[in-house]
Chains A and B, each alone.
Chain A
Amino acid sequence: MEITTLHYLVVAAALFIVGTIGVLTRRNVVIILMSIELILNAVNLNLVAFSRLYGLHGQVFSIFVITDAAAEAAVGLGILIAFFRNKETVNADEIDLLKF
């Protein structure tokens, strides 16, 4: 039994589904951000698996995706700290200041 590219794609799809469930169902904003990291990692696994077949462009793009994930985590956690200083909670259901 040889490991093909499709095996890696199935693992990446499973990670993507798990991350989607985390984003859509959890209330804690920290864990929602961690689930976003899981989704970005699934995308990275797809890119690197295809770069095995089609050249190194996928690996280069996965470096860009990692950089984007770092920036997004920094901004998201900064927003979270600012929100926690105002309302003393990190519950996503209570972030409803713009709700009419």
Chain B
Amino acid sequence: MIAPQLVRVLKVGLTLIVLVVAWEIACRAFQVPSYLVPAPSAIAAKLHEKRDLYLGHTWVTLYETVGGFALAVAAGVIAAALIVVVPPVRDIIMPLLLIAQLVPKVAIAPILLIWFGYGLLPKILIAFLVAFFPIVVNVASGLAAVERELLDLGHSLEATRWQIFWKFRMPTALPELFSGMKIAITLAVIGAVIGEFVGGNRGLGYLILIANQDLDTPLAFAALLILSVVGIVLYALIELAERLLIPWSASVNHYLEAERA
């Protein structure tokens, strides 16, 4: 069990190391100026040199991302439940949702800034807006995917609507909730950064913006690297929760099969 997992990690790790080394060699061989493409060593040096700078900005971006994501999950599950359980609502909400999804969120960001100022709230709202849609769509299709025979069984036992929802629909939708959350968390990181780009004075997005203005490209890359790590860690946490909470799910078993193979 351990060995194949180790092999998988080694494969990814080795590929990354090879890429980074090639990058370093290319930068030195062609004497690429640092403000165009900084060498990995330069980025590492920048990470070390300004190590006191990052923590605060990372914390802000993390806060915005997780805040927007949590809102999206809560509102998304409620909206999906309404769509599935109250049919008239579906006919009204679905077209509105689609229209809302087609509006570019980058274009909404400046308006949100006007309404809610330069604090954390507009960033959280943008992260929420981009993360909301995949949650609703996935959970709604999951809630509707209960086997017809299982519903017949419930009705034959005179199950209440409440019982049908909590005992039949919600557990059926959990795998879809998790796939929705995996998409949503990556989008929420992007949403938070968009918010910081448009206006603000804190966060990793803001740091990248400032670094660009100063042509301090190594700093921009350092911030980018931290941003990626934040995204990967959040994603991995959701996957871990998925494995712990719904071990019966086909998607979880699929991973395990792949690891055994």
Partners in one complex: no
